[in-house]
């Protein structure tokens, strides 16, 4: 599968355009109307489109920060950065929550989805490939000891899977409503687990949840950019 040229997106049915969003970001139905709004005016490339989406998501995260500080504000109306897309505070919260939880937990074994939407608990093929890359990086990692040149074997996959499951649970307890997401980029599990531990250690600090939301938006968008590279972009109809 390759992505259609971004220049063709306005001419495609909305259902097709939102399917593309779900491929890039994992299924996020509440985000569809905002995504369609971002096509007018049309960003010329997928990276530009993802950058626009990231800017809007960070804007929505800032609104959620306000609502968490004063829950009465959930009843208010809020607009996109250009003022043309409007939603109430509860919808803003729904969008942010859905984006935060759209990607599967790292290291959680699940069946690979055969057909989009067939099993909401399943990994998409792209998520499965991304997690496989993390697992492969972990199994190829070994650490030399100070007294010998013989590498120390990496921890077993089962042990690291159990540790990741524990850390996922601890993170979600520390940050209710959030799920840890990061741009793996071929990094081994041990590095990812240290990142999760660092986030958990900061959970009691002022602004920690807001910072985790912003980091998650960045991670989701970096993953989307990488997926564009993996899938490739088809030529505009009538060209080439």
DSSP string, 125-189: HHHHHHHHHHHHHHHT--EE-TT-SSEEPPPPHHHHHHHHHHHHHHHHHHSTT-------TT--H
* Cα–Cα dist 153/164, whole Å: 19
Examine the pLDDT at 137 and tell me if it is beyond 90: no
pLDDT digits (tens, 9 = 90+) for 143-194: 444 444 555 455 566 788 899 999 999 999 999 999 999 999 889 999 999 9
| Residue 29, token pair as written in the block | 């139905």
* Average of per-residue pLDDT across 60-70: 97
Q: What is the pLDDT of residue 239?
A: 45
What tens digit of pLDDT does each residue of 86-132 get?
Answer: 999 999 999 999 999 999 998 765 544 434 443 434 456 666 666 65
| pLDDT over 70 (residue 139) | no
- Could you tell me the pTM of the whole model? 0.81
| CA trace torsion 152, 158, 164, 168 (10° rounding) | -170
- Averaged pLDDT, 67-96: 96
Q: What is the pLDDT of residues 197-228, one digit of tens each?
A: 999 999 999 999 999 999 999 999 999 999 99
Position with higher pLDDT, 81 vs 2? 81
pLDDT of the residue at 112: 46
Tell me what pLDDT residue 160 has.
86
**Under a CB-based contact definition with an 8 Å cutoff, are residues 21 and 9 in contact?**
no
Distance CA 111, CA 160 (A): 19
Q: Quick one: pLDDT at residue 147?
A: 47
112 compared with 33, residue with greater pLDDT:
33
Domain coordinates in residue numbering, the chain: 1-102+231-240, 105-141+155-203
Residue 195, both tokens: 């990142």
CA-based max dimension of the chain: 65
Residue 235 pLDDT grade (very low, low, confident, very high; cuts 50, 70, 90): low
């Amino acid at each position: 599968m390759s992505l259609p040229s971004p220049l063709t997106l306005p001419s495609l049915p909305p259902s097709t355009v939102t399917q593309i969003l779900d491929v890039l970001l994992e299924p996020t139905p509440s985000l569809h109307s905002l995504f369609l709004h971002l096509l007018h005016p049309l960003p010329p490339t997928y990276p530009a489109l993802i950058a626009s989406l990231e800017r809007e998501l960070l804007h929505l995260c800032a609104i959620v920060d306000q609502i968490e500080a004063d829950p009465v504000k959930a009843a208010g109306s809020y607009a996109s950065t250009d003022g043309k897309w409007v939603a109430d505070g509860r919808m803003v919260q729904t969008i942010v929550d859905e984006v935060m939880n759209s990607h599967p937990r790292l290291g959680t074994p699940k069946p690979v989805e055969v057909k989009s939407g067939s099993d909401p608990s399943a990994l998409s093929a792209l998520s499965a490939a991304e997690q496989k890359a993390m697992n492969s990086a972990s199994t190829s990692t070994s650490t030399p000891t100070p007294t010998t040149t013989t590498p120390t074997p990496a921890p077993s996959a089962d042990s690291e899977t159990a540790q990741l499951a524990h850390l996922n649970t601890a993170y979600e307890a520390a940050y209710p409503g959030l799920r840890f997401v990061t741009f793996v980029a071929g990094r081994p599990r041990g590095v990812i687990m240290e990142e999760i531990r660092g986030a958990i250690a900061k959970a009691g600090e002022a602004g920690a949840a807001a910072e985790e939301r912003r980091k998650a938006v960045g991670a989701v968008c970096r993953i989307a950019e990488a997926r564009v590279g993996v899938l490739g972009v088809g030529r505009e109809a009538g060209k080439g």
